[in-house]
Each structure stands twice: as structure tokens, then as C-alpha cells.
Amino acid sequence: MRSAVKEAHFGHTTLPDEQAQALRKAVKFEWITVGFLAISTTIVFLVLGNSQVMKAAWIEDLLSFLPPISFLVAVHFIKRPPSIRHPYGYHRATGIAHLVAAVALSVMGAYLILDSGLGLLKAEHPTIGAVTLFGQTFWLGWLMMAAMALTAVPPVYLGLVKMKLARSLHDKVLYADADMNKADWMTAAAAGVGVAGIGMGLWWADAVAALIISVSILRDGIKNLRSAVGALADARAMTYDDADTHPLTGDIDRYLSGLPWVSEARSRTRDEGHVFHIESFVVPKKKAATLQQLEDAREGCIELDWKVQDMVIVPVAQLPDEFLPGPTSGGEED
């Protein structure tokens, strides 16, 4: 790790220290995740055996590579400043990465449901025999449970760290990846429980445990998928976890409306991944605004939040309804 805080950029936005640090930390943790996954996929592959859940846990581990890799690729691109070919910058790389991560999560959930559901329907009895290690012959199930216990712990920690970073960076890829880590440790736990159940002579324990977990994974996947597609399709900006409308649009409208020369102001905001592109329409009181006033207003908005990156203020005689549907600005409608 480099200790000196270097300036970090998203396009031509210079990140505040908090976000710059969060970004560096996120990159570090995504590399740790990739390293951990490489180890855990190897371990699980070696003890796969005949258990459906173990197989599912392994395929799921493979899918878990997608979110961190897509994050790292996206980070590589979003640093670039806007160019002639990309006048809006490369921020959408984040949206694409989020989509990839969300698809990975959904596929994993759906696969697990099908796989364990079919296993239950066909009443497949998972067969786990012996393994000989260091001259000892013992039940392979013990080794599987040990492998699952080992691979379940790190994702808990990784997920918690990423969840925090996702909030600070407003990064939905990290958020989806934190969900993936949650899915990881939950399937690992379920697989361990499933194998333990097989040991009890409950052939269905394996499949039932996987089925329960897979429903919640699919739900997370679909939630992320909707959010990723929404952001790419220019839906209004939401918070990093899509729980709420992002407050920034409302803040900007209030700030602009509060300026002495402005009678009315409304904005529309696109989430470009980390930063927002904002078009604000202002109605000046005296039907005119000086360039200095407009420039100052823009500076003021940019100071509100680091995410205000690409902002256009348009003085208008009256607010254009066709661009600003809904009764109020921000998220207060409905």
C-alpha cells in the first residue's frame, strides 16, 4: 500500500480525501477478494465429491469472480478524463460493471433454485464416501464441512467492509459485490449444514438448505439488476442501495431556489455511476441572469457535493414541463 494520499480522479472530478481513500481501500479489498476466491475455488474443487450443494457452492464461487473483476476493470476506465470520443467521460463503466455483477448474482440465485429444486423433486440421495488423508480413512463429509467453514468466514468480513465503502463512494458495483459476498458466506454455511444433514441420514437437508439460501440470493440479484438497468436507462438518481431517491437533486433545487435572483429552479439528475450529471433550469426574477450569477450558482452547487460533476444551468422564462415531469423536484413526488 502506498501511504501518501495521492490525488484520485473520476474523469475530471477530483475526489475528496474521504472518497479517494475509500476508492483505494475498495481496490485493495477487491484484489483481496479475487485472491481469496482463487484459493477457495481450489479448496472446494478438491473436496467436491457428490454433494449437489458443494457443486453449487463451487459454481457460485466461480460467479463471485465477476463483481470484483468488473469493479477493477471499471475503476481502470473511470479514471480517464472525457475525450473527443467520450465527451461525457467514462463514468458509465460503473453502470456496466454493476449490470455484470447483478447478472452474476441473479444467475447464481436462479441456478441454485433450479439445481436444488430438481434434486429435491428427483429425491436424489447425495453420496459421500470416505477419503484417505495421511494414512487415515475417514468420512469425506468432515473435510467438506471444514472447507465450507473455512471459506464462509472471509466473505463476511469482506462484505461488511465493502458495504461501508459502497456508501462512501456511492458505488453500486461495490454494493452488488457486498451482496455477492453475503451470498458466498450464506451458501457456504448452507452447504456445510447440508453436508451435516446428509451425515444425519437426511438426504434432503442438502437441497433444502440450498433452496432456502438461493431464494434470498435471487432476490438480491433481481434488486441489483433493476437498479443497474434503471441507472443505465437514465432513471432518477437513487442512493447507493436503491432504498431511496438520492437527496442531492432536492438539495440543489433548494440551493438554487434560495438564491436572491432566482424565483424558481428545478433539476433533473442522471446517475453516471459515481458522479451525477445535472441539468438545472432556473427562472430568474427579473427575466434575466448575468453570466456571473450563473457561474457563481454553478460553483455553489459543485461545492454541495463531490458528485456534482457535470452540471449545466439553463436560465428559462418558465420551467419546461416536458423535461421535468412530476409535481415537485427531487424525490418528493408520489
Residue 48 binds other proteins, judged by CB under 8 A: no
Task: Find the shortest distance in angstroms from Cβ 130 to other proteins.
Answer: 3
Residues 81-110 that bind other proteins (CB under 8 A): none
Binding residues for other proteins, how many (CB under 8 A)? 37
Nearest to 36 by CA among 180, 143, 142, 164: 180
Nearer to other proteins, 95 or 126 (CB): 126
**Using CA atoms, how far apart are residues 148 and 167, in angstroms rounded to an integer?**
29
**Using CA atoms, how far apart are residues 183 and 107, in angstroms rounded to an integer?**
12
Nearer to other proteins, 200 or 291 (CB): 200
Residue reference for cell 468466514: 153
Nearest to 53 by CA among 105, 120, 132: 120
Q: Which helix (H) or strand (E) holds 13?
A: strand 13-14
Nearer to other proteins, 126 or 315 (CB): 126
Nearer to other proteins, 74 or 213 (CB): 213
Instruction: Report CA dihedral (147, 150, 152, 157) to the nearest 10 degrees.
Output: -160
Task: Find the shortest distance in angstroms from Cβ 137 to other proteins.
Answer: 4
- Secondary structure of residue 44 in the 3-state scheme: helix
Residues 190-209 that bind other proteins (CB under 8 A): 190, 193, 196-203, 205, 208-209
Residues 122-161, mask of contacts with other proteins (x by CB under 8 A) = --xxxxxxxxx----x-x-x--------------x--xx-
Those residues with Cβ within 8 angstroms of residue 57's Cβ, 6 or more apart along the chain or in another chain: 44, 148, 151, 187, 188, 190, 191
**Using CA atoms, how far apart are residues 136 and 208, in angstroms rounded to an integer?**
31
Residue 121 binds other proteins, judged by CB under 8 A: no
Residue 221 binds other proteins, judged by CB under 8 A: no
**Residues in contact with other proteins by the rule CB under 8 A:** 50, 124-132, 137, 139, 141, 156, 159-160, 163, 182, 186, 189-190, 193, 196-203, 205, 208-209, 212-213, 215-216
